[in-house]
Structure 1
Amino acid sequence: MTSPDHPDRSSTAGTHPVAAIVLLGARKDLVEARALCARLGYREIEAYTESPYADHWFEKKPT
């Protein structure tokens, strides 16, 4: 379905690569969350914020 506000983009799908890095933070007591991040392919990185609610930071780059 198309409209002036939502044109049909199926003809251009896949022609414009999108790159995004997902960044996450987790508290040290959230062991299960940190394990999930690792299992899903996130890698631990240096802190990117000074949030009092995060002790571990992760990123995942597109594949």
Structure 2
Amino acid sequence: MIPLTANEIRHVYALTRRIDHPRGHVRRWSDWRRHQARARYCHYKRRIRAAQTSSMRIKTTPQPLLL
């Protein structure tokens, strides 16, 4: 799980003080934000890994045909 940021702490605190948001809304918002961060991390990791493996492939020049 990613650590709480100062901005998220402020946001959650401000939301808990408001009357118009149900209590569960704040928790769902925080969970969604964390899910998005985890998804972004995995996406970047997968793209970097794919780029590294494609650049590591052996590039050979075609050999001329001998007749």
- TM-score bracket, normalised by the shorter chain, equals under 0.3
TM-score, normalization: structure 1? Answer: 0.27
Question: Which protein has greater RCO, CA pairs closer than 8 Å, 6+ apart?
Answer: 1
Structure with the higher strand share, 1 or 2: 1
TM-score, normalization: structure 2? Answer: 0.26
Structure with the higher helix share, 1 or 2: 2
